[in-house]
Structure 1
Amino acid sequence: MSPSSVTLSGAHVRLEPLVNDHLSAIQAAANDGQLWKLFFTTVPSFEKTQQWLDTALEMQKQEKAIPFAVRSLLSGEIIGSTRYCNIDQNNKRLEIGYTWYAKRAQRSAVNTECKLLLLSHAFEVLSCNAVEFRTDWFNRASQAAIERLGAKRDGVLRNHTILPDGRVRDTVVYSILQNEWPGVKKNLQFMLNQYP
């Protein structure tokens, strides 16, 4: 397993390596629905987007993450971001996280196809043993979305993270194992076919 910058394309979206040139497009996407107002997410506000972008690129430089900009193939616009993170090459596991989409892209084929692309690459190219998802205890929509993918809840890490606003977050952890991937993949393909 040797993760590196990669572009992943489907029928609805293209996941392209996040770069500084995406700054204004990321700001516009986050502004659609003012997503930073959701206290349980990591979506950057307009003023903090450069800092968010710098952090993502620094994580990539340190080989701790591979951040992507999510581009709609229908409109050609950037509609969100996601990344591989907590990359553990020795144990062949990683996390898919920091995921958010513009309001107009939510409840569409976007998340399903993004996860299909990311999971396919993780299991079939990077040969991962497990892929993890983590979310805030209060982010019920995210928990439901992760469960719809076919991930199983591993547990809750209590008082896991101190957030910038001082709140101490409980983190809900999910995973998909390598031997579960064929069934999860079939489910994701079935879900994707339900969209026009």
Structure 2
Amino acid sequence: MNRQPILQGGAVHLRPLQADDWDALYAVARDPLLWEQHPVHDRWREDVFRTFFEDALAAGGALVAVHRPSGAIAGSSQFRPCPLDPREIEIGWTFLARTHWGTGMNREIKRLMIGHALARFPRVLFRIGEGNLRSRKAIERVGGRLVEGWVEDGAYQGRPVRHVVYEITRDDFTGGALA
């Protein structure tokens, strides 16, 4: 599967992340409220975001979300092999400028990315910080179902972090999820 496709919707254009996207993407990411429920709650800091950005470039599955009407970079999302099972594909690391919250842009990004991934995989996974209720609600609104018993325990800055896993299957998607 091409993990850096160009995907186009009505309000969003997704394209591969490039090194020269740093300034515009960090302008979005430096908002502390984007990260307040995220396990890496200080990703708004330049040094922390720089590590995230460089990792995204190196991983090869990062996409930039461009708001088509304005041409402005609105956020980013990524495709990666799931570390819990590398035969599975994961969509994650998604963030959007608060000006695009509640506009349907996240739904459109997910619809485009899920449709692309399900052409190759029978399901798409989403690992979300257990306490990140905003992201959990967002994935549930687009048809994600919690995979019971599949969790990942880790740590950030010496604090425990637990991720839960959601899925959307090919049947869910063709059956009306994100329609």
TM-score strictly above 0.5:
yes
Give the aligned partner of residue 108 of structure 1. 103
Structure 2 stretches lacking a partner, 5+ long: none
Change (3 A) 1:178 1:45: same
- 1:180 is paired with a residue whose SS is helix
Give the aligned partner of residue 70 of structure 1. 65
Change (3 A) 1:29 1:161: same
1:53 aligns with 2:48: no
Structure 1 stretches lacking a partner, 5+ long: 61-65, 190-196
> Larger % of helix: which?
1
> Larger % of strand: which?
2
Give the aligned partner of residue 7 of structure 1. 6
1:87 and 1:137 map into 2 onto residues whose CA distance is 17
How many residue pairs end up in the alignment?
Answer: 177
- TM-score normalised over the length of structure 1: 0.80
How far residue 37 of structure 1 moved from its aligned partner, in angstroms, is 4.5
Q: Do the aligned residues in 1 keep the contact of 2:82 with 2:125 (CA within 8 Å)?
A: no
- TM-score normalised over the length of structure 2: 0.87
Q: Do the aligned residues in 2 keep the contact of 1:7 with 1:17 (CA within 8 Å)?
A: yes
How far residue 92 of structure 1 moved from its aligned partner, in angstroms, is 5.4
What is the RMSD computed on CA atoms of the aligned residues?
Answer: 2.3
Change (3 A) 1:28 1:57: same
Change (3 A) 1:134 1:91: closer
1:188 aligns with 2:178: yes
2:129 and 2:149 map into 1 onto residues whose CA distance is 9
Name the stretch that deviates more: 171-180 or 31-40: 31-40
